[in-house]
Every structure is written in structure tokens, then in C-alpha cells.
Structure 1
Amino acid sequence: GMLFNLFFSSNKTLIKICLSSILFASSHGGNTIFGFLIYVFMGFSFAIVYAKTGKLQNSIAVHIITNAVATVSIFILN
């Protein structure tokens, strides 16, 4: 949310989405390029949700759902 509102003007949505998704991926530390790209895609998705709704809570909710699905999948596959 901070990147969207502080660093760029309102008409540069694609730049905001790309930068925030790369920062999201960097902060989640994928060990391989494939892992990094997965996090970039997830960050891109969360940024689009924020751009469309204007509410950070919606992106947080999607992030929680994504983490819950991943956690349940790990338990089911093991």
C-alpha cells in the first residue's frame, strides 16, 4: 500500500504493481529462480487486488487464503 500511495503518481499503476510484486518476492526469499517467480506472481496478484479495490485488507485476505491453502496442501501431501 505504501508503494502505491507514496512513490508514484496515480497514473503509473503498472509500474507500481511490478515494483511491489518484485519487492514482495524479494522479502519472501525464493531459493531458486522458479521460487522467486512464484512469489513475483503472487505479489502481482495481491497488487492487482489492491489496485482494483483500493483496500489493503482485501490483499491481506487473499494472502491469508493463499497461505492457508498452501499449509493444508502440505499436510495433505505428507
Structure 2
Amino acid sequence: MIGAGTVLDPSQVAEVANAGGRLIVSPNANTSVIEATVAAGMVSSPGYFTPSEAFDAIRAGLIRSSCSRQRRQLPRW
């Protein structure tokens, strides 16, 4: 599957679609990017951190997503 990452603007979604891309990865839950991706029939994979961001993404058309735990190392004292 061909796509693009760090997509920040809906106009970039159109550029990827015109180049034959099928996947959009964005670092945030920008609803306009998600909506443009879904409208183009592409797969959207936005980044989100809070439940509110996740629900905003769902309302914008995100169909499926998987959450991964953030892994932090605790400082050694």
C-alpha cells in the first residue's frame, strides 16, 4: 500500500490521492484531514492522545483504529 505520512492539510490528501496513494498518516486528529481522506476513499491513520481526540476522529469518519500504549521509561534514581 502506498501512502504518505505527516499529512497536515487536506490539500495534501488530494495530492496523495492523485499520485495513487491509498493511506494517509497524520500526527494529530485534524478532522479536516480525516474527512478529506475518507471522502477520497482512502485509509486514514491519525494520531491522537486523549479520548476527546479519538471521538473527534470517529465523528470525522475514522472507521477503525488501534491504540497502542505509550511506553515511558521511568528515570533511575
The structure carrying a bigger helix percent of its residues is 1
The structure carrying a bigger strand percent of its residues is 2
User: Shorter chain as normaliser: what TM range?
Assistant: under 0.3
TM-score, normalization by structure 1: 0.27
TM-score, normalization by structure 2: 0.28
